[in-house]
């Protein structure tokens, strides 16, 4: 095997965002693009002794360009001296499964090829992220080093070989590199069997419980078919859109109330199943809808935390919990009642890694439909559904009953997120900068009858390693505990997306049955006015409301 050193020059714009590097497929298809980024990752993380003896995990969500990129990564892994590559058959590994495989096989790390909830296909998005030996997304220190390297790169290493067969399980040699094509589901299924009582869940389905899981033609199809239908005995047809397609069937694999509308409508309909769920492109998100009731991700996190003991893995209780800053404080109330710590981190799963590794938290989540635990180092869509199923099986109640009793106990955090997508970048930045400049004067002011008690630019000091992350979103808090947060997305690939997060606490059970848009209407108006959203963006209304 002859290693080729290919001369290259830096390509601008390779700064990983909230979750890896995401760009249009057209950009990733440019000569040297994937190679430059992958070599920069290798250069940034290479141990002093090199990659000899080490294992790299590779897989993706099956989107357009997945296979081409995997072939490139494998050649470069061989040239860079790795001993072994584990690759999911068909190039498939969901993000949580990749995390699981890295941990189960003591790999050095992994490259996950996905742009997650972003659309796919030739005109869609592609992405790459590096996960470390703990199975979790590289922390900022590492992504900064990768970015620095992309700006200084002069060459990459590869080998000249024909494409490898990625579909037939088994081990093949590429020079001194062993390429093992593995079942993408096996390790993950084994882990789920250790965490949950599969007999109890089988009994639930045997009693006629009805689940509808929309895999959105994305990566969770094979996992959902194997676990819900084959292992747990849910009837065929439980899993919808279960075959991963390179363009996700032309749909946007984002499990929200806009893109998973058909599931939502079915769950609100006359003969709705007991539980409706969906996951995103790379399988790390979860949408939870009960019969006639949508459970917001922030509420879902709180309800999972309050009921986690229903699954064997969490029967001993939780060490602590964490949520991203824009996520509602519903889980904080559960933590307080349980007498366990609750951490508030910036947006992005990488910020949970240290807390999980240190054993400070067991469960964590984000308002963007991400929930997970210490079983892997990623959020995990199928896992969240299994935990919900465990709770429903143990409590023998409906999703609605569980939600309503939760609110009666802890109070309800009305919550919504309004997204303004593909806004002109300068306009979005102008809005944020202008707002930022006004924050220092805000505390003490009253607007529309609400007194501002907090106005800041959220910064986070990691309690484990002391690292500081600044500029993580603008927060405005009011005397009654209600809150507005503004952030610019770090996962988009064109223009800017402004996210506005709005929250209000309602202690009175007589007022827990409102539509969140109604319950939050005055705050929604306030959020628009404070930031001058129409004036800056030219938009009168958000594109997506969740």
Taken as a whole, the chain contains a residue count of 546
Binding status of residue 131 toward ligand VG1 by CB under 6 A = no
For Co ion, the closer CB: 115 or 403: 115
Binds Co ion by CB under 5 A, chosen from 40, 66, 80, 116: 116
419, 543 contact by CB (below 8 A): yes
Instruction: Return d(Cα 308, Cα 298) in angstroms, integer.
Output: 15
How many residues interact with Co ion (rule CB under 5 A)? Answer: 4
Stretch that binds Co ion, among 198-206, 220-228, 284-292, 436-444 (CB under 5 A): 284-292
Binding status of residue 495 toward ligand VG1 by CB under 6 A = no
Q: What number of other Cβ atoms are within 10 A of residue 386's Cβ?
A: 23
The two tokens of residue 430 are 């102008």
For ligand VG1, the closer CB: 490 or 495: 490
User: For residues 295-328, b (16+ Cβ closer than 10 Å) or e, as one string?
Assistant: bbbbbbbbbbbbbbebbebbeeebbbbbbbbbbb
Question: With CB cut-offs between 5 and 8 Å by kind, which of ligand VG1, Co ion, none does residue 241 bind?
Answer: none
Instruction: Return d(Cα 365, Cα 374) in angstroms, integer.
Output: 11
Report which DSSP code applies to 229: I
Binding status of residue 284 toward ligand VG1 by CB under 6 A = yes
For ligand VG1, the closer CB: 80 or 347: 347
Provide CB contacts within 8 A for 261, sequence distance 6+: none
Question: With CB cut-offs between 5 and 8 Å by kind, which of ligand VG1, Co ion, none does residue 373 bind?
Answer: none
Residue ranges of E strands in 82-154: 84-92, 109-113, 125-131
For ligand VG1, the closer CB: 21 or 153: 21
Active site residue 446: no
Instruction: Return d(Cα 83, Cα 85) in angstroms, integer.
Output: 7
Instruction: Pick the closest to residue 97 from 378, 359, 385 (CA basis).
Output: 378
Binds ligand VG1 by CB under 6 A, chosen from 90, 253, 370, 542: 370
Q: Assign 478 to helix, strand or coil.
A: strand
For Co ion, the closer CB: 116 or 546: 116
Q: What's the angle, vertex CA 125, arms to CA 80 and CA 488, rounded to 5? A: 105
DSSP per residue, 26-70: HHHTSTTHHHHHHHHHHHHH--TT-STT-EEEEEE---TTHHHHH
The least distance separating Co ion from the CB of residue 280, rounded to whole angstroms, comes to: 4
Binding status of residue 117 toward ligand VG1 by CB under 6 A = yes
Instruction: Return d(Cα 377, Cα 95) in angstroms, integer.
Output: 10
Binds Co ion by CB under 5 A, chosen from 282, 299, 380, 419: 282
The least distance separating Co ion from the CB of residue 499, rounded to whole angstroms, comes to: 16
Site string for ligand VG1, 155-184 (x = CB under 6 A): ------------------------------
Question: With CB cut-offs between 5 and 8 Å by kind, which of ligand VG1, Co ion, none does residue 348 bind?
Answer: ligand VG1
* Range 289-348, binding ligand VG1 (CB under 6 A): 324, 347-348
Question: With CB cut-offs between 5 and 8 Å by kind, which of ligand VG1, Co ion, none does residue 349 bind?
Answer: ligand VG1
User: For residues 205-239, b (16+ Cβ closer than 10 Å) or e, as one string?
Assistant: beeebebbbbbbbbbbbbbbbbbbbeebebeeebb
Binding status of residue 501 toward ligand VG1 by CB under 6 A = no
Instruction: Pick the closest to residue 41 from 66, 76, 17 (CA basis).
Output: 76
Binds Co ion by CB under 5 A, chosen from 229, 280, 332, 378: 280
The least distance separating ligand VG1 from the CB of residue 415, rounded to whole angstroms, comes to: 14
* Range 420-449, binding ligand VG1 (CB under 6 A): none
For Co ion, the closer CB: 94 or 482: 94
The active-site residue out of 19, 94, 116, 482 is 116
Question: With CB cut-offs between 5 and 8 Å by kind, which of Co ion, ligand VG1, none does residue 10 bind?
Answer: none
* Range 8-67, binding ligand VG1 (CB under 6 A): 18-19
290, β-bridge pairs:
275, 293
Residues that bind ligand VG1 (CB under 6 A): 18-19, 116-117, 280, 284-285, 324, 347-349, 366, 368, 370, 489-491, 499
Residues that bind Co ion (CB under 5 A): 116, 280, 282, 284
Catalytic residues: 116
């Amino acid at each position: 095997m002859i290693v080729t050193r290919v001369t290259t020059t830096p390509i601008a714009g390779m700064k990983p965002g909230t979750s890896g590097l995401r760009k249009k497929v057209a950009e990733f298809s440019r000569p040297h693009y994937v190679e430059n980024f992958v070599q920069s990752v290798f250069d940034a993380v290479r141990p002093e002794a090199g990659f000899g003896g080490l294992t790299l995990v590779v897989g993706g969500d099956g989107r357009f360009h997945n296979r081409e990129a995997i072939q490139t990564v494998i050649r470069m892994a061989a040239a860079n001296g790795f001993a072994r590559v584990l690759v999911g058959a068909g190039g498939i590994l969901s993000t949580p499964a990749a995390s699981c495989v890295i941990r189960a096989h003591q790999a050095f790390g992994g490259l996950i090829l996905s742009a997650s909830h972003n659309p796919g296909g030739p005109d869609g998005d592609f992405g790459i992220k590096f996960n470390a030996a703990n199975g979790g997304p590289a922390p900022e220190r590492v992504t900064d080093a990768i970015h620095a390297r992309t700006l200084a790169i002069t060459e990459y290493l590869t080998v000249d070989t024909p494409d490898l067969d990625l579909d037939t399980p088994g081990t093949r040699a590429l020079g001194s590199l062993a390429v093992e094509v593995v079942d993408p589901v096996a390790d993950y299924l084994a882990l789920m069997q250790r965490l949950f009582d599969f007999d109890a869940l089988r009994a639930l389905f045997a009693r006629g419980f009805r689940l509808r899981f929309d895999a959105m033609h994305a990566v969770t199809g094979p996992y959902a078919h194997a676990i819900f239908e084959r292992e747990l005995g849910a009837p065929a047809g439980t899993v919808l859109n279960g075959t991963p397609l390179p363009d996700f069937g032309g749909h946007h694999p984002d499990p929200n109330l806009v893109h998973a509308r058909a599931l939502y409508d079915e769950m609100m309909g006359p003969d709705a199943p007991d539980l409706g769920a969906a996951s995103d492109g790379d399988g790390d998100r979860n949408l939870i809808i009960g019969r006639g009731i949508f459970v917001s991700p922030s509420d879902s996190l709180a309800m999972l935390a309050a009921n986690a003991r229903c699954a064997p893995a969490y029967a001993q209780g939780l060490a602590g919990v964490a949520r991203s800053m824009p996520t509602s404080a519903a889980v904080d109330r559960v933590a307080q009642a349980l007498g366990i710590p609750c951490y508030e981190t910036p947006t992005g799963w990488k910020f949970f890694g240290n807390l999980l590794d240190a054993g400070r938290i067991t469960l964590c989540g984000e308002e963007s439909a991400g929930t997970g635990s210490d079983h892997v180092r990623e959020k995990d869509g199928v896992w969240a559904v299994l935990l919900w199923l465990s709770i429903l099986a143990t409590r023998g109640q409906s999703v609605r009953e569980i939600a309503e009793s939760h609110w009666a106990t802890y109070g309800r955090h009305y919550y919504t997120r309004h997204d303004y997508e593909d806004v002109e970048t300068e306009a979005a930045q102008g809005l944020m900068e202008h707002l930022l400049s006004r924050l220092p004067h805000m505390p003490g002011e009253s607007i529309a009858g609400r007194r501002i008690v907090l106005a800041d630019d959220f910064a986070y000091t990691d309690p484990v390693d002391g690292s500081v992350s600044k500029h993580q979103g603008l927060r405005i808090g009011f005397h009654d505990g209600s809150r507005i947060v503004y952030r610019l997305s770090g996962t988009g690939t064109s223009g800017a997306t402004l996210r506005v997060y709005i929250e209000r606490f309602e202690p009175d059970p007589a007022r827990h049955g409102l539509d969140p848009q109604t319950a939050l209407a005055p705050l929604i108006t306030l959020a628009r006015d404070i930031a001058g959203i129409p004036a800056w963006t030219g938009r009168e209304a958000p594109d997506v409301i969740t």
